[in-house]
């Protein structure tokens, strides 16, 4: 039987090709070399591949209805990935659906994100009122914007309050700032390029902000702060408990994190010479507790079984309603959450690494205060969260610190002699997460730490006098001197204590047990994993053999391990610069299967086992 | 040629009939006796006649796309008025589209309004969380509501803040209150009937509130107040000027009107034994200035040519954002406006009188501080506003008062002797608008007032000694004693002064000139008008022959005149109890042609002429 083919013509280019019956229009477009955007990989969730079918368009699919508005469906728009070719077709690619400027995110994430921000700033000429044109100010502005191609917009009451004056001050020639479907500001028409957004990665221990130019897609400044909530507990459970004990606890923690985010905003703006009022939207990812604390949602149910959030949805709220000092009518978008301990940061990791579109089995580990693990392919994704603790971010460690100048990030023991390297080659100040892992790995390898994690007495390593000399108890617990007082900038020795080793054991044990449990639930073996992605600011500097050596990373060939940097932050930037990805994010968050480790006896057993070092 | 007919079957009743090709499904349904709601008269604006066409529905029309959501279009819903029968069809009438309880509004307005409020209160059972069901609280609530038939809802941050606690307090068995598409409250499941709305008619001089049970559609209490803004100017121009002079003027006026509306709310709730927190939505109509002052929008451009509003749209804002003390997350809907001086109150009059669906030429006059006039049919409606002044509401008149006990509402002169009647037969206190018109008409008829409006000297009416005796100047201006001091409850005579007569002349002159101008623009004569509708609280008691006698009402046969009471308030109630009518209102507001009288020289001439009394 002859194969049935149909002719499909893509306008306005006029490219025509024959397409086997049953192919999707997206596949046909790709075959024709017609560029369509489909960051969701053709799953009908991002709305990027919308095309116009002028002649008798097929009934909209379930996905079309979800992603497109009634008005768009009526305008005969459909998603190319949802339309199968069953007759000759003429298809018009709307201007806005063609791929525009590409933005490549750095930091190990290579994923094309078309610039399609939720914020637009457009200069328009608005007809002045007259007796023959008595339209209300809002109507004349919206009509002018509709003529410029932006229709279906609204003007909220707060903007309306200054609209008449602004229109007249600007001689009816404003640059209108539109966030989502709402006009939030009228600026001078010459300021049309002053249009910024802020991507926020709100971590339990670390806060990072990326100031992004929404006209070019470029990240123009990055700033970070320690999360000041840490003063009230260094993991999320401790902070939730604080909120339960203290009536105003949640308000205190909300104010603290917002103050720090405003400092980040101010610093990034200062460095890039941008006014905070030219920042019209912030896009935030964070774990469920960070999300709820920032939005002032109740957190108590998160900490008790069965660990449910108040809301797992994405939200778009006035930025000022949470105290964020971007433009006074700017908005804050918060990414969707997966479960009580797996938040939008994990969704960001999935988006940034493209796991939701991956064909090969991929494992991602995001090391933060909680260690979130994701395993799967585009067909199925599993996620879990492990209480890794903040050790790998340098917290809860006697001489721990963030990865800044003077932090020890490498420890080597060669021929029984210890050498350390610091960031910026500055005099040693303390240990960052990378250095901590390196130190523990080196000491375990050298036999200073036994397979159960116990520091051996000095006598046991008498064969290496330098090591034996450094094994000097401090405050009644075993400890190892990494840097003698004379060499440290602080005037006292820099130690790795027995307790520090235990913290690392807890962290790596939790992560390794989580990985094994996910593999088990998925029904795969470690060998089936094609790639292991290590996310988290910490991962960029770690030595993979060392991390694998102590069991923090799984036992796979080193070439399978890839560092993807702060993938959560990269995900936040993607959500900031491409509003269509917000649909993808919601779809991903709903689709990921959450594995609740706390209820699994096998996890507890694996955890106990995984705390040991090799050789046990 | 034989007429082409098709078979149309209406499910679930199974009624089948043959329909000539080209008829609409709405016409077919009406012919089949299938009850469908179409308050817009089949113009495709109200969305009431939505039907499901399971098999190959036609492409949605422009109107369908505007009124139906993408999701509804995808579910194969169409508007019956928009679908023409061109083949055999099976049509399913969705349960919600069948006519339910009818609500007949009183006060002269006979217009069926199906109960379809924007507020719904539904008891649902929400599955409790467990380790195998870790959905966020918001998701489990929304999923339960979707199962109950309410899908596509959201929960805003403020509601989310109390959601976890409320769900647990109510043992996961709440009555969810939904306003629009947002869940705003969780109540006890037994309180499912405690669901109220407040319709507000915010006039320049008078404020009226109707408390409506949104489960039954019944108006359970009415309360009114004088608009306290009157202390800062008794017409809208004076108030706008006050706002221009005083920096905090707009804020003062906003606070004053909201305080009075809250008093109305409290009084209506007290009388009906309803808690203000069980009032979840308010629907407000008012002229453009009242609308903008309440919403805190700038008013200055309204008072200067070309008289433009900041916004003519309808709005739905949190009621608390303007200070209205209904439920803390309740909403205020404000109806759409037509022009700078023709507001949502006029839209309300049009809706309540059904002028937008009228086939015969209809003239409506809404007498308030501004006199709004509407002329037309369903094909074309014209509207204008005239500065009638507050005289007919009893203000700016020496002994003027509202229509309350003791107000003179009738004045007769028989055989040269004066008799007056008061409301409630109480001792006379002052003159209400009705009595004022009656008095001026009686005095003009008796020759006490000459055709130019001048009070004649006593000598000129010497033939009627009672009248001559009553012509006694007061404070240097001519005046007529309606009630002698001894008969009045206040201990002083109740006068009609020369200035009072001038106020009536201005009011009736403005209205009459407006009517004539609209007729002229429409290209019709007074004889072409099939019906004259008189709206405004004042109209219910006026004697039509008297009003016609002085030229306040046009010179048409009395049987053409109908009083429709407070039609603006009736319109507000319609918008409160049927959310589909809000689309109709927006359509009407956009469609009405506004005639700007101030710019027309012919209006000025007509005005001068119309101020005279018959016989001039």
- Per-residue confidence (pLDDT) for residue A108, from 0 to 100: 46
Strand order in the sheet with A381-386: A561-565, A531-535, A362-367, A371-376, A381-386, A593-594
Q: What is the pLDDT of residues B513-550, one digit of tens each?
A: 999 999 999 999 999 999 999 998 666 678 889 999 99
A57-108 pLDDT, tens digit each: 888 888 888 888 877 888 788 999 999 998 888 888 876 555 444 443 445 4
Chain B residues in contact with A71 (beta carbon < 8 A): 65-66, 70
Taking a C-beta distance cutoff of 8 angstroms, is the pair A562, A108 a contact?
yes
- Contact call for A306 and B71, based on CB within 8 A: no
Pairing of strands A315-318, A331-334: antiparallel
A73 touches chain B (CB under 8 A): yes
pLDDT tens digits, A402-412: 777 888 999 99
Nearest CA distance, A220 vs chain B (angstrom): 31
**Edge-to-edge strands, sheet with B279-286:** B219-226, B206-213, B196-202, B279-286, B331-334, B315-318
Q: What is the DSSP letter of A56?
A: S
| A32's tokens | 């024709």
Q: Are A185 and A280 in contact (CB under 8 A)?
A: yes
Q: Is B308 on the interface with A (CB under 8 A)?
A: yes
CATH of span A119-191: 3.10.20.880
Q: How far is CA B450 from CA A26, A122, B454, B517, in A?
A: 84, 64, 5, 26
Measured between alpha carbons, how far is A168 from A240 in angstroms, rounded to an integer? Answer: 50
Nearest CA-CA distance, residue B393 and chain A, Å: 29
Within a 10 A sphere around the Cβ of B69, how many other Cβ atoms?
18
User: Measured between CB atoms, which of B131, B305, B596 is closest to A305?
Assistant: B131
What angle is formed at CA B399 by the lines to CA B398 and CA B403, rounded to 5 degrees? 130
The CATH architecture annotation of domain B5-97 reads Roll (3.10)
Residue A584, SS3 per DSSP: helix
Backbone torsions φ then ψ of A135, nearest 5 degrees: -55, 150
User: Smallest Cβ distance to A70: which of B72, B165, B296?
Assistant: B72
The H-or-E segment that residue B77 falls in is: strand B77-79
Across the interface, do B157 and A295 touch by the CB < 8 Å criterion?
A: yes
Q: Determine, for residues A594 and B160 on separate chains, whether the beta-carbon distance falls below 8 Å.
A: no
d(CA A390, CA A536): 12
Of A23 and B106, the structure prediction assigns the larger pLDDT to: A23
Of A70, A136, A315, the CB nearest to B311: A136
pLDDT of residue A183: 98
Residue B464: how many other CB atoms lie within 10 Å = 17
Residues A311, A313, A316: CA angle, nearest 5 degrees: 110
Residue of B nearest to A77 (CA): B70
Give residue B240's pLDDT band: very low, low, confident or very high (50, 70, 90).
Answer: very high
Kindly state the helix (H) or strand (E) to which residue B213 belongs, with its residue range: strand B206-213
- The answer to whether the CB atoms of B161 and A296 lie below 8 A apart is yes
Per-residue pLDDT at A102: 40
Residue-averaged pLDDT of chain B: 90
pLDDT confidence of residue B100? 45
Domain boundaries, chain B: 5-97, 119-191, 196-334, 392-503
Tell me whether B2 touches chain A (CB under 8 Å).
no
Measured in whole angstroms, the distance separating CA A242 from the mean position of its chain's CA atoms is 26
pLDDT at A110: 46
* Chain A touched by B310 (CB under 8 Å): yes
Whether the CB of A247 is below 8 Å from some CB of chain B: the reply is no
B369 in Cβ contact with B401 (< 8 Å): no
> How many residues make up chain B in this entry?
616
Decide if B337 and A298 are in contact by the 8 Å CB cutoff. no
Alpha helices in B148-235 (DSSP H): 157-169
Q: Which of B160, B251, B315 to mutate to test the interface with A (most CBs of A within 10 A)?
A: B160
Q: How far B132 CA lies from chain A's nearest CA (Å)?
A: 8
Task: Give the distance from residue A448's alpha carbon to the nearest chain B alpha carbon, in angstroms.
Answer: 42
Secondary structure of residue A461 in the 3-state scheme: helix
pLDDT attached to residue B98: 53
CB contact (8 A) between residue B311 and residue A64: no
State the average pLDDT over residues A586-596: 95
Contacts of B59 in chain A (CB under 8 A): 56-57, 76
Strand, coil or helix: A573:
helix
What is residue A103's predicted lDDT score, i.e. its pLDDT? 42
A310/B136 touch (CB, cutoff 8 Å), yes or no: yes
Measured in whole angstroms, the distance separating CA A232 from the mean position of its chain's CA atoms is 24
Chain A residues whose CB is inside 8 A of the B131 CB are: 305-306, 596, 599
| pLDDT higher than threshold 70 for residue A474 | yes
Look at residue B417 and give its three-state secondary structure. Answer: strand
Contacts A–B by Cβ distance under 8 A: 171
Model's pTM, two decimal places?
0.85
User: Which of A64, A130, A136 would best serve as a mutation to test chain B binding (most B beta carbons within 10 A)?
Assistant: A136
Q: Is A510 exposed, middle or buried (0-12, 13-18, 19+ CB in 10 A)?
A: buried
Query: Once rounded to an integer, what is the mean pLDDT over residues B250-276?
Result: 96
DSSP codes, A464-532: SHHHHHHB--BTTB-EEEEE-TTTSTTSS-EEEEHHHHHHHHHHHHHHHHHHHHHHHHHT--GGG--EE
Q: What is the largest CA-CA distance in chain B?
A: 100
Tell me how far apart the terminal alpha carbons of chain B are, to the nearest angstrom: 65
In this complex, the residue of A131, A161, A297 whose CB is nearest that of residue B596 is: A131
CATH number, span B196-334: 3.30.420.480
- When pLDDT is cut at 50, 70 and 90, the band that residue A284 belongs to is very high
Q: Is B316 in CB contact (< 8 Å) with chain A? A: no
Q: Per the CB < 8 Å rule, is A134 touching B69?
A: no
Kindly report the three-state secondary structure assignment for every residue of B427-481. CCCEECHHHHHHHHHHHHHCCCECCCCCECCHHHHCCCHHHHHHECCECCECEEE
Facing A136 at nearest CB: one of B57, B295, B310: B310
Answer whether B2's CB lies under 8 Å from B9's CB: no
- State the DSSP code for A16: E
Please check whether residue A610 is in contact with residue A514, taking contact to mean a CB–CB distance below 8 angstroms.
no
Residue B157 to residue A296, Cβ atoms within 8 A? yes
Confidence at B99, pLDDT banded by 50, 70, 90: very low
Q: Find chain B residues with C-beta within 8 A of A60's C-beta.
A: 70, 73-74
Closest CA to A250 of A295, A288, A284: A295
DSSP string for residues in B285-330: EE-HHHHHHHTT---HHHHSTT---S--S-EEEEHHHHT--SSTT-
Q: How far apart are CA B88 and CA A432, in angstroms?
A: 76
* Region A250-267 average pLDDT: 96
Q: Looking at chain B, which residue has its C-alpha nearest residue A128?
A: B306
A66 contact residues in B (CB cutoff 8 A): 71
Cβ of residue A128 closer than 8 Å to a chain B Cβ: no
| pLDDT value at residue B1 | 47
Quick one: which H or E segment has residue B198? strand B196-202
Contact A65 B59 (CB under 8 A): no
pLDDT in tens, B152-186: 899 999 999 999 999 999 999 999 999 999 999 99
Other CB atoms within a 10 A radius of the CB of residue A452 amount to 11
Contact list in A for residue B312 (CB cut-off 8 A) is: 135-136, 138-139
Q: Which residues of B14-24 are buried (b: 16+ CB within 10 A; e: fewer)?
A: ebebebeeebb
| Residue owning tokens 């992605």 | A533
Chain A interface includes B137 (CB < 8 A): yes
A527-583 pLDDT, tens per residue? 999 999 999 866 667 888 999 999 999 999 999 998 888 899 999 999 999 998 999
Query: Which carries the bigger pLDDT value, residue B337 or residue A100?
Result: B337
The DSSP symbol for B215 reads T
Q: Which three-class secondary structure state does DSSP give residue A3?
A: coil
Give CA separation, B191 vs A12, A144, A471, in Å: 59, 48, 71
Q: Is A346 a residue whose pLDDT tops 80?
A: yes
Residue contact B138–A321, C-beta within 8 A: no
Are B310 and A163 a contacting pair at CB < 8 A?
A: yes
Q: Do domains B5-97 and B119-191 have the same CATH topology?
A: yes
Asked if A328 and A275 count as a contact pair (C-beta separation under 8 A), the reply is no
Residues of B in contact with A297 (CB under 8 A): 157, 160-161
Q: Taking CB atoms and an 8 Å cutoff, what residues of chain A touch B313?
A: 136, 138-139, 154
Judge: B139–A599 Cβ closer than 8 Å, yes or no: no
- In angstroms, rounded to a whole number, what is the distance separating the alpha carbons of residues A124 and A176? 7
Q: How confident is the model at residue B48 (pLDDT cuts 50, 70, 90)?
A: confident
Residues of A in contact with B74 (CB under 8 A): 59-60, 62, 64-65, 73
Q: How many angstroms separate the CA atoms of B542 and B511, rounded?
A: 16
Q: Least CA distance to B71: which residue of chain A?
A: A65
């Amino acid at each position: 039987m002859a194969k049935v083919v149909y002719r499909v013509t893509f306008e306005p280019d006029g490219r025509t090709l024959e397409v086997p019956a049953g192919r999707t229009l997206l596949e046909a477009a790709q075959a024709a070399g017609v560029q369509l955007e489909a960051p969701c990989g053709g799953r009908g969730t991002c709305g990027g591949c919308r095309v116009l079918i002028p002649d008798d368009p097929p009934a909209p699919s379930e996905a079309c209805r979800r992603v497109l508005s009634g008005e768009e469906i009526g305008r005969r728009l459909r998603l190319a990935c949802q339309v199968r070719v069953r007759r000759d077709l003429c298809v018009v690619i709307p201007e806005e659906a063609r791929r525009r400027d590409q933005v490549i995110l750095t930091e190990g994430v290579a994923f094309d994100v078309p610039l399609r921000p939720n914020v637009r700033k457009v200069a328009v000429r608005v007809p002045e009122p007259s007796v023959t044109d008595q339209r209300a100010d809002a109507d004349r502005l919206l009509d002018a914007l509709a003529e410029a191609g932006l229709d279906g917009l609204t003007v909220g009451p707060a903007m309306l309050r200054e609209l008449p004056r602004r229109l007249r001050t600007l001689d009816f020639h404003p640059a209108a700032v539109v966030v989502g479907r709402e006009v939030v500001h009228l600026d001078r028409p010459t300021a049309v390029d002053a249009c910024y957004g802020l991507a926020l990665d709100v971590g339990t221990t670390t806060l990072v902000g990326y100031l992004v130019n929404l006209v070019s897609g470029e990240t123009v400044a990055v700033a970070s702060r320690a999360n000041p909530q840490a003063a009230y507990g260094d993991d999320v459970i401790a902070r939730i408990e604080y909120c339960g004990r203290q009536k105003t606890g949640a308000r205190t923690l909300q104010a603290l994190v917002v103050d720090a985010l405003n400092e980040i905003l101010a610093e990034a703006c200062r460095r890039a010479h941008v006014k905070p009022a030219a920042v019209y939207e912030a896009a935030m990812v964070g774990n469920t507790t960070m999300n709820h604390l920032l939005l002032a949602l109740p957190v108590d149910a998160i900490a008790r079984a069965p660990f449910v959030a108040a809301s797992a949805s994405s939200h778009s709220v006035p930025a000022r309603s949470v105290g964020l000092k971007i433009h006074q009518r700017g908005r804050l978008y918060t990414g969707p959450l997966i479960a009580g301990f797996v938040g939008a940061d994990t969704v960001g990791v999935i988006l940034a690494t493209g796991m939701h579109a991956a064909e090969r089995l991929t494992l991602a580990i995001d090391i933060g205060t909680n260690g979130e693990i994701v395993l799967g392919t585009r067909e199925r994704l599993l996620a879990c969260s492990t209480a890794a603790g903040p050790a790998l971010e340098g917290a809860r460690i006697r001489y721990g610190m963030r990865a800044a100048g003077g932090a020890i990030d490498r420890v080597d023991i060669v021929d029984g002699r210890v050498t350390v390297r610091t960031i910026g080659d500055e005099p040693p100040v303390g240990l960052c997460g990378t250095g901590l892992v390196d130190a523990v790995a080196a000491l375990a390898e050298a036999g200073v730490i036994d397979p159960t994690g116990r520091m051996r007495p000095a006598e046991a390593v008498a064969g290496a006098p330098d090591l034996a000399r450094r094994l000097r108890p401090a405050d009644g617990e075993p400890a190892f001197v990494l840097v003698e007082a004379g060499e440290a900038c602080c005037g006292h020795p820099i130690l790795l204590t027995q307790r520090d080793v235990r913290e690392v054991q807890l962290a790596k044990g939790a992560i390794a047990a989580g990985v094994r449990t996910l593999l088990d639930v998925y029904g795969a073996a470690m060998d089936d994993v094609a790639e292991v992605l290590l996310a988290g600011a910490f991962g960029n500097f770690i030595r993979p053999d060392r991390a694998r050596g102590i069991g923090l990373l799984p036992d796979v060939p080193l070439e399978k391990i890839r560092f993807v940097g702060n993938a959560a932050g990269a995900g936040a930037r993607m959500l900031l610069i491409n509003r269509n990805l917000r649909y993808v994010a919601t779809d991903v968050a709903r689709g990921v299967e959450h594995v609740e480790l706390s209820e699994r006896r096998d996890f507890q057993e694996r955890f106990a086992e995984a705390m040991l070092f090799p050789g046990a």
